[in-house]
Amino acid sequence: MKKLLLATDLSPRSDRAAHRALSIANAHGAELIVLNVIDEDLPADTRNRLSQAAEEQIQNAMVRIPQASSVATTVRVVFGHDFRAIIAEANINDAELIITGIHRDVGSGRRASDTTMGKIARYSSCSVLVVSQPVDKPYEKAIVGVDFSHPSKRAIKEARRFLPEGSLFFVHAFEVPFAGLMPGKETREQVRRDHEQRLHELLRSEMAEFLKSASDASPRGKYEEIVRHGGPNQVLREEVDRIRPGLLVVGIHGRVGISRAFFGSLAESLLSDPPCDVMAVSSW
């Protein structure tokens, strides 16, 4: 990992993201680009005044973070519009990861795909990390959402890169097909249990093989496989509550048709309303 992009709106929400970005950059010897976007529709004199003030504020904030002295940092203040400017700067600078705090439109009632984080996840060609938790140490535990696709294979590798010595929990959620169409309550319940058991065993077997194919070396940290019945969003959030990881990693952009739309919307939902720090890993 050579270049990271930290997108900041200069609010207190961005402070945690700045600390995490510097921590990651320091650990990987990466260059950090700190970006602030100013609305290009503002009058020119207002834009220029805000640009100068933003650059000074960023420089002063970086100086106060101890790790900043050991990280090559470039400050960029550009005129543009939210997610489009952020993605454009990431592309121009060949950034491998966009890091940001919780945006102000989180909890606004908007659909996940309409939020800034949702749009960045949908249209960016690099991975996205939303930092929501205080930063006091490197990540030690991470949950990885696994659906046996190429994006989740990349998510596993990215999680292992971020936590080479940490604990990884690989979580797969499944639902019983056509469970609601079974005749008779007892019959439906029995069939549901039979389907769950068979599918549970099948998925455990497939996950074991999948993890072997996804691993380019033996894991140095602890890892655990978790297969549960339920919707992916609900299951992942419940496991976050139970395990209390520092990071949740999911894949995005690699599937087609309905599957791509579904898994894309899952990642967007998690980024827009993160239960912990969330990374959406692109398969591009």
What radius of gyration, in Å, describes the C-alpha atoms of the chain? 20
Q: Where are the domains of the chain?
A: 3-101, 141-282
Residue 11, pLDDT above cutoff 80: yes
Residue 281, helix vs strand vs coil? strand
Q: Which CATH architecture has domain 141-282?
A: 3-Layer(aba) Sandwich (3.40)
* Strand 31-39 with 247-252, pairing: unpaired
- Looking at residue 174, what is its pLDDT? 79
Task: Give the pLDDT confidence score for residue 225 in this predicted structure.
Answer: 86
pLDDT of amino acid 204:
75
Q: Tell me the CA distances in angstroms from 170 to 210, 224, 274, 282, one per residue in order.
A: 11, 6, 18, 18
pLDDT category at 91 given cuts 50, 70, 90 is very high
Contact 3, 90 (CB under 8 A): no
Query: By C-alpha distance, which of 115, 107, 10 is closest to 58?
Result: 10
Same fold, 3-101 and 141-282: yes
Contact 7, 37 (CB under 8 A): yes
* DSSP three-state, residue 279: strand
Model confidence over 180-206: pLDDT tens digits? Answer: 555 555 655 665 577 567 767 776 777
Mean pLDDT of the chain: 83
Q: Which CATH architecture has domain 3-101?
A: 3-Layer(aba) Sandwich (3.40)
The rounded distance, in Å, linking the Cα atoms of 40 and 47 is 7
pLDDT at 72 (0 to 100): 94
pLDDT at residue 113, rounded to an integer: 55
Smallest CA-to-CA distance from 247 within 221, 210, 213 is with 221
Containing 70, the helix (H) or strand (E) segment is: none
- Contact between residue 143 and residue 249 where contact means Cβ atoms under 8 Å apart: yes
Q: How confident is the model at residue 74 (pLDDT cuts 50, 70, 90)?
A: very high
The DSSP annotation for 249-271 comes to EEEES---HHHHHHHHHHHHHHH
Q: Between residues 234 and 229, which one has the greater pLDDT?
A: 234
Q: What is the pTM of this model?
A: 0.83
pLDDT for residue 195? 58
- Number of helices followed by number of strands (H, E) in the chain: 8, 10
The DSSP call for residue 248 is: E
DSSP 51: H
Residue 25 has pLDDT above 80, yes or no: yes
Examine the pLDDT at 83 and tell me if it is beyond 70. Answer: yes
Neighbours of 209 (CB within 10 A): 10
Could you report the per-residue pLDDT of 125-160, keeping only the tens digit for each? 899 999 999 998 899 999 999 887 788 888 888 888
DSSP label of 272: H
| Higher-pLDDT residue of 191, 265 | 265
Report residue 257's pLDDT band, with 50, 70 and 90 as the boundaries: very low
Residue 45 pLDDT > 90: yes
pLDDT digits (tens, 9 = 90+) for 201-228: 776 777 777 777 766 555 567 888 888 8
